[in-house]
Amino acid sequence: MKNKLSFLIVALVCSVMAWADCVPTLHEGDYVLRLNGTKDLTTYQSCDVDNQYQVLGLALEVGDLLTVKNVVYGLEDGGASANFTYNKDNGVTCKTAGTYDVYIKSNLSVLYIGSAAAETTYYLAGNMNEWSATGAAFVDGKVVLQDLAAGDHQFKVTDGQWNKDGDGGHEFTTVDSECSTATTTTDGDGNVVFTTYKVQDVTIEFADSKICVKADTEKPADIEDVYVIAGQEALLGVDWDGNAESNKMTVVDGTATLVKENLTLAAGTYLFKVVKNGSTWIPDGVGNDSELAIEEVGEYTVTFTYIIGEESATAVAVKNGEEPQPEYVTVRFFYADWATVYIFAWGGSDFGTWPGKLMTKDESGWFAEKILKGSNIIFNAGEGQPQTIDITNVEADLCYELGDVNDEGKYSVVVNEMCQLKTSVDNNAEEAKVMLIGNKLVVTINGSANVSVFNMAGQMIDNQMATGSYTRNLASGIYLIRVDGQSYKAVIR
């Protein structure tokens, strides 16, 4: 086992302070550990995130400088100290080229640097090898999965142990998007996920704690994903069968539905999940099943609904002989250059012929209107005036702002997650435009701004300082984009 404590630098500040008192001078996206004054090796997220600052197998040359932000530290002699020079004003300078493991405690109080032993081996562990922590060893930084079958694939990179129950293992899930040819996402357990549609050789590369996935993940036009509801036998006739033909959902315009009629159900709570293509469970993991509550025994018609890309499905049970109660959601819209705003709706609410119903502002300053849940809508400025694209199957209270114009002359929309009208934003974020072109995220910036992308599990999948513009291809799902602290929500169907 390599010696992780061979070189020790102890912080004089924060060593006896609580975590919350330790980082008032750090802001989200600030570097924590930096190489040679320019390359950010780790970045701070937030006080309520369990930050893990570690860079394993870091190759250093003579003269390379490691700097820890906002930490005043001293030097305690250790076994590897001869390989580094300490300067309290500059940082730690490498004297002997080599590969080192770097760890920073989550309270930023201690920095450890230890030589990475030559025998350290990293492994690919995933559903392709029954999640063995020592499943497939990386050789020369690569694992080649020969003749990998089509389907959904999940994995992590380990050092031979799982990082749980205090066993000291380390797991890696950061994907290098510039190197990868595959479209990847992360699931609720932090696994890297990619989907293939044909048998092929897939290469996974691992270096500097980052993963590169080289695979063809383009979906052929003639292949459709299959969604099935799986759950308890009392609800679905079979017990947790992700391939049951009787529980296969029908997909229309990005929404999958399944209707089960004349079900005799006792009072209680019934559990279920969505299964994609027979192997991907939504949501993934244990103890997070979707629930259907039945208050009294009787015969019911149950409708399951899953919006493609969301985190889970919903179910509505209507007792036979009873009429279902309509559900409403509130949509809000704002664009300062439109003096009047109309909402046109179909597939649920109906506000008459084009341009629809004139909207009025609510107390928050947004143009607001209640619509039937699941309706399709278009915001427009009136007859012969600009309009948005079709916004389909609206299932929740949402606030929309205008994006850019597409080739048809229609405006895209951006979901304002906080439902707050922007009045003033520091730096250049007030000039930022966030839009989706297909599955590509495009952020246009007047100047420079820090752009962070998170999935709905709260995991950061990218963070960088962008100048002029930022682009990234994203898989289907829901994402939170932050531009210099301003939040946006993006949904890719």
Write down the domain spans for the chain. Answer: 7-115, 123-214, 227-319, 326-421, 422-493
In three state form, how does the secondary structure of the chain look?
CCCCCCEEEEECCCCCCCHHHHCCCCCCCCEEEEECCCEEEEECCCCCCCCCEEEEEEEECCCCEEEECCCCEEEECCCCHHHEEEECCCEEEECCCEEEEEEECCCCCEEEEEECCCCCCCEEEECCCCCCCCCEECECCEEEEEEECCEEEEEEEECCCCCCCCCCCCEECCECCCCCCCCCEECCCCCEEEEECCCEEEEEEEECCEEEEECCCCCCCCCCCCEEEEECHHHHCCCCCCCCHHHECEEECCEEEEEEEEEEECCEEEEEEEEECCCEEECCCCCCCEEEEECCCEEEEEEEEEECCCCCCEEEEEECCCCCCCCEEEEEEECCCCCCCEEEEECCCCCCCCCCEECEECCCCCEEEEEECCEEEEEECCCCCCEECCEEEECCCEEEEEEEECCCCCEEEEECCCCCCCCCCCCCHHHCEEEEECCEEEEEEEEEEEEEEEECCCCEEEEEEEEEEEEEECCCEEEEEEECCEEEEEEEC
Please list, residue by residue across 318-328, b when 16 or more beta carbons sit within 10 angstroms of its beta carbon and e when fewer do.
Answer: ebeeeeeeeee
Q: Provide mean pLDDT across the span 466-491.
A: 81
Q: Distances from the Cα of 154 to the Cαs of 123, 150, 489, in angstroms? A: 14, 13, 25
pLDDT of residue 98: 80
- Which residues partner with 123 through β-bridges? 137, 158
If pLDDT is split at 50, 70 and 90, which confidence band does 42 have? Answer: confident
For 147-178, how does the pLDDT look when each residue is reduced to its tens digit (9 = 90+)? Answer: 998 888 999 999 888 876 455 567 888 999 89
pLDDT of residue 423: 35
For 231-284, how does the pLDDT look when each residue is reduced to its tens digit (9 = 90+)? Answer: 999 999 999 998 899 999 999 888 899 999 999 999 999 999 999 888 788 887
- Give the CATH fold of the 326-421 domain: Immunoglobulin-like (2.60.40)
pLDDT of residue 235: 95
> Over the chain, what is the mean pLDDT?
80
If pLDDT is split at 50, 70 and 90, which confidence band does 345 have? Answer: very high
If pLDDT is split at 50, 70 and 90, which confidence band does 299 have? Answer: very high
Residue 24, pLDDT above cutoff 50: no
Q: Tell me which of 20-34, 188-202, 441-455, 461-475 is least confident.
A: 20-34
pLDDT of residue 108: 58
Q: Tell me which of 7-21, 28-42, 94-108 is least confident.
A: 7-21
Residue 406, pLDDT above cutoff 90: no
* Rounded Cα distance, 67 and 41, in Å: 10
Q: Provide mean pLDDT across the span 191-197.
A: 90
Choice between 479 and 391, residue whose per-residue pLDDT is larger: 391
pLDDT of residue 115: 67
Q: Tell me which of 92-96, 238-242, 247-251, 369-373 is least confident.
A: 92-96
Dihedral-angle region of residue 337 (phi above 0 means left; psi in -120 to 50 means alpha; beta otherwise) = alpha
If pLDDT is split at 50, 70 and 90, which confidence band does 50 have? Answer: low
Residue 378, pLDDT above cutoff 90: yes
Q: Tell me which of 55-69, 238-252, 292-306, 428-442 is least confident.
A: 428-442
Residue 417, pLDDT above cutoff 80: no
Q: Which CATH number fits the domain 227-319, given the four candidates 1.10.510.10, 3.60.21.10, 2.60.40.10, 3.40.50.300? A: 2.60.40.10
Residue 485, pLDDT above cutoff 80: no
pLDDT of residue 121: 85
* Rounded Cα distance, 25 and 451, in Å: 20
Residue 169 CA neighbour count, 13 Å, CB half: 19
Sign for the CA dihedral angle at 29, 416, 418, 420 comes to positive
CATH number corresponding to 123-214: 2.60.40
Residue 8, pLDDT above cutoff 50: no
pLDDT of residue 246: 94
* Rounded Cα distance, 493 and 488, in Å: 16
pLDDT of residue 76: 44
For 55-67, how does the pLDDT look when each residue is reduced to its tens digit (9 = 90+)? Answer: 887 888 888 888 8
Bridge pairing between strands 398-405 and 328-334: parallel
Residue pair 300/320 in contact (Cβ under 8 Å)? The answer is yes
Residue 464, pLDDT above cutoff 70: yes
Question: Same CATH fold, 326-421 and 123-214?
Answer: yes
Dihedral-angle region of residue 339 (phi above 0 means left; psi in -120 to 50 means alpha; beta otherwise) = alpha
Q: What's the angle, vertex CA 63, arms to CA 58 and CA 66, rounded to 5?
A: 50
Q: Which CATH number fits the domain 422-493, given the four candidates 2.60.40.3080, 3.40.50.150, 3.60.15.10, 1.20.210.10? A: 2.60.40.3080
